[in-house]
Structure 1
Amino acid sequence: MQIHSLTLDDFSSSNYSLIGIHSTVEDYRLAYFLNLHLQLNLKRSKLDIDLKRKGIDAFFSLYEFTHNTTENSWYLISNYHKNKVVGNNLSLFSESQTVTYLLPERKKVDYFLKLEGDFNSVIINQTIEKINKISQVITSYSIDTNKLKSKESLIF
């Protein structure tokens, strides 16, 4: 007799917002600019997000900051991992790259800013406006987390 069953929704925090960021800068530079413009203190996490997809181990950089007074958490997450694949022959051109995405349905997004805590739509829109003013950012926008197919990748 089944007493209690758990689903993925039991472990996911529904109290978060997601902002997609398009930028060609490296993750550490984007974290610096976000810290500067949003008055954050994002720091590289000791552990990356690691996933295994299609037999490839992929690691996605993670920067985090928790505000002391509000207990709100900010996470900057890379959406892609480049993996070098070396061919069997010893040719100079036998090396290639494969790209693995954290959220494959959002392949064009370079980074995600995950906001956990009590963020209302006004604060999120103000944050997006500030991010869009960073010259190294192409664009940023809010992402509806209910429409994501692989949102389990955002549980960490």
Structure 2
Amino acid sequence: MAMHKLLVDDFFDDSFLLLAVHCRLEDYRLAFLLNKYLELRLARRAQDLDYNYFAASYAIYEWEDSKFDTIWNLVANSCKRQENSIQSSGSLFDNQNVVTKINYLVPELKKADFLIKVSNENQQLDEKKILNSIQAIPQIITAYSADLNNIRSKEHLIFN
């Protein structure tokens, strides 16, 4: 029997800009600051992104700019969950410890706290201007453009 493989790279449209943001803000506060400094209108989606069979959910904000035909997405890159860990020590009583597990949306960018995806079909984005505007926000440590060629988990960047 013939085996057919479908690769995500065949269907994946990389006509977007991916920015990694390092900051210690809550997601709603960062969305507010981006709206203020970049004149965006990011709003939280009704449902968060759920991956790994609902083991991790990531807050996502979105704005469709119809004037420039651009879609802006702000998404948290990490999800922290507390789980009970049962360790058998061979004794009569079980010890239960609470373990914090961290799941990353894009594991290749573990150090980034948030990701900003800017989709534009015409690819008329001024990447340097956007980065300078983001880095002008005092609460942001740094922001940089992520190289899409080094990201293997591209399927996690499909938000629709």
For structure 1, the 5+ residue unaligned runs are none
What's the secondary structure of 1:86's corresponding residue? Answer: strand
Aligned alpha-carbon RMSD (Å)? 2.2
Between structure 1 and structure 2, the one with the greater Rg is 2
Show CA shifts across 1:51-94 (max 9, x none). 11xx7710011100010212200000110000111234576xx2
The answer to whether 1:100 aligns with 2:98 is no
User: Is the counterpart of residue 150 in structure 1 residue 145 in structure 2?
Assistant: no
What is the match of residue 58 of structure 2? 60
Counterpart of 1:39? 39
Counterpart amino acid of residue 36 in structure 1:
K
Change (3 A) 1:90 1:56: farther
- Measured after TM superposition, the shift of residue 43 of structure 1 is 0.3
User: What does residue range 43-122 of structure 1 map to in structure 2 within 5 Å?
Assistant: 43-52=43-52, 57-88=55-86, 89=94, 94-117=97-120, 118-120=122-124
Aligned residue pairs, count? 150
Q: TM-score, normalised by structure 2?
A: 0.85
Q: CA offset at residue 37 of structure 1?
A: 0.3
CA distance in 2, matches of 1:49, 1:75: 12
Task: Work out the CA distance in 1 between the residues paired with 2:124 and 2:106.
Answer: 24
TM-score, L = length of structure 1: 0.87
- State, as a whole percentage, how many aligned pairs show the same letter: 34
CA distance 1:32–1:5, shift in 2 (3 Å): same
**CA separation of 1:73/1:98 partners in 2, compared to 1, >3 Å: closer, same or farther?**
same
Give the Cα–Cα distance (whole angstroms) in 2 for the partners of residues 148 and 16 of structure 1: 14
Instruction: Check 1:56–1:69 CA distance in 2 against 1; reply closer, same or farther (3 A cut).
Output: closer
User: How much does 1:96 deviate?
Assistant: 2.1
